[in-house]
Amino acid sequence: IWVAARDPNSHDFAVANGCKVQVTPLASGDDEVTSLMQRFNAACAAHPEIERPEIMLLMHTFVADDAADADRLTQDLSTFYCQFGAWFQNKKPVHQGILEPLTPDEIAAMPQYAPDKIRQNLVIGEADEVIARLKNYEALGYNQ
């Protein structure tokens, strides 16, 4: 069983019950990736009698053909996260399963999802960039 975990209590519950752990930093970047691993490590240290479970890092990742390809996807993911944020917070009406589009001003009000932040915080780039980021996550202890 995989348990989605963010809060230290959910990490502790998963490890104590022999479950695998899945985490997502959403679009928060590598500091959150590190923090999530610290929470997992703390849970593992609190339960030395339990075999260390697998831990999965779930985040948007894209290997681009070139810089222009990466820029296109970065813009698409910026729009996605703005829409997701508005949907998650019930900020826009939904009609027939589709969230009302955001205005440019509404998008500008979410600088955490600006294209430059999305490019920095998600794994987007040409193959060598993506491989380097994934190797860093592996070094932190992520194995899925």
pLDDT interval class at 144 (50, 70, 90): very high
**In whole angstroms, what is the distance from residue 10 CA to residue 69 CA?**
37
Prediction pTM value: 0.87
- Measured on CA atoms in the order 132, 134, 138, 139, is the torsion positive or negative? positive
Domain ranges of the chain: 2-59, 62-126
Looking at the chain, list the stretches that DSSP marks H as alpha helix, in order from N- to C-terminal side: 8-16, 30-46, 67-88, 104-108, 115-121, 127-140
Average pLDDT over residues 70-81: 94
What pLDDT digit, counting tens, does each position of 47-65 carry? 999 999 999 999 999 999 9
Tokens 């502790």 appear where? 12
Position 48 scores a pLDDT of: 97
Position 114 scores a pLDDT of: 96
pLDDT at 84 over 90: no
pLDDT interval class at 86 (50, 70, 90): confident
pLDDT interval class at 70 (50, 70, 90): very high
